[in-house]
Amino acid sequence: MSNKHVTVEQLVKTYPGSSAPSIDHVDFDLEKGEMLALLGPSGCGKTTILRMVAGLITPTSGHIWLNGQDMARIPVHKRNMGMVFQSYALFPHMSVAENVAFGLEMRGVPRADRAERVERALDLVKLAGYGSRRITQLSGGQQQRCAIARSLVIEPNLLLLDEPLSNLDAKLRDEMRDEIRSIQNRTGVTAIFVTHDQDEALSMADRLAVMSAGKIEQIGTPRQIFDYPATEFVANFIGAGNFFTGRPTGARTAEVEGLGTITVGQDIPAGQDARLLVRPHRFTLDAQGPNSFSGTVTHLVYRGETLTLDVEVGPRTLKVDLPTHAGALPERGQTVTLSVSPADITLIGAQQ
């Protein structure tokens, strides 16, 4: 066990009748006040991990430590964890204040103290004055805030959020994303949240754990995960990318079919092909520099802030994102010259 606020150690969950574990020897830890995102496609096991931490699912093996205490024999109601569910799980027959007070009531907190703490929690999530309203009178975003207030009012040791924004429309999702992060920063609560949305994870979390088939592929800061993916799965899941196989011709040069010799910003291990990644937004319209490629624009999509291009360069098609403020923009059928800096070509699996 480490001395971290939360430690998950060799966690395994195998359901009866299954030949393979749903969660396969997962390890991670959190500092106090840190927010970790469990990110991955549907069915990868991220919600199962969250529910094991909460005590709603019993692990097959492994340990979950909170503040140095092994949670193995601690029942759900004694773990002092707040949980925000995807569906919010609010009681429609109760008022907003009664919903928020529910956890305090279950813990035997005196009525006067309950009222004061509920008021503070509602103020924290910008629902001051809404205490007497029914849940059915709230918008989706307000219900989300109420669910967060209910989880925070108990002053949890750990806040767990399961796809908390998935039921909101795009604009409200962006607003609540910032709001949840702000609330978490103001309260200093340690948090784990589950999401399949890469933008959500990158913008909200201190660190990300990218999952696939019950395992953590990589754990790191948003920048580490995006700029230095450990595997091609991580690179593909976090953002779009152009992938190349390069045959090393020098310490930092490689031969790529259709593109010729390119220069990268990291040392390439000798004697083995390298997998290389260029994010679409790393390309510029420029004939200068060591990595320049001429090709034909075969498809384009205007996205407001960016113009997404398919550029045919020899036998391959490159995905390119250009800012729309960058002067004259190319058109379909036009020949363009792309350039990418060696520092913007990532060697997948390399140490940053």
Instruction: Write the class of the CATH domain 6-234.
Output: alpha beta
Summarised one tens digit per residue, pLDDT across range 75-106 is: 988 899 999 887 778 888 889 999 999 988 88
Summarised one tens digit per residue, pLDDT across range 227-268 is: 999 999 999 999 899 999 999 999 999 999 989 999 998 899
pLDDT of residue 77: 85
Residues recorded for the chain: 352
H-run or E-run covering 152:
helix 140-152
Summarised one tens digit per residue, pLDDT across range 194-214 is: 999 999 999 999 999 999 999
> What gap in Å lies between CA 117 and CA 100, rounded to an integer?
9
Domain 241-347 belongs to what topology?
Answer: OB fold (Dihydrolipoamide Acetyltransferase, E2P) (2.40.50)
- pTM of the prediction? 0.89
CB 82 within 8 A of CB 76: no
pLDDT of residue 1: 60
Model confidence at 272, in pLDDT bands (50, 70, 90)? Answer: confident
- Percent with pLDDT over 70 in the chain: 99
> What gap in Å lies between CA 327 and CA 332, rounded to an integer?
16
Q: How far apart are the first and last CA of the chain?
A: 27
Summarised one tens digit per residue, pLDDT across range 138-195 is: 888 889 889 999 999 998 999 999 988 887 788 888 888 888 899 899 899 999 999 9
CA dihedral over 45, 51, 56, 60, signed as positive or negative: positive
Which residue intervals of the chain bear CATH 3.40.50.300? Answer: 6-234
Which residue intervals of the chain bear CATH 2.40.50.140? Answer: 241-347
Which residue, among 177, 184, 264, has the nearest Cα to 228 in the 3D structure?
Answer: 264
Tell me the β-bridge partners of 69: 66
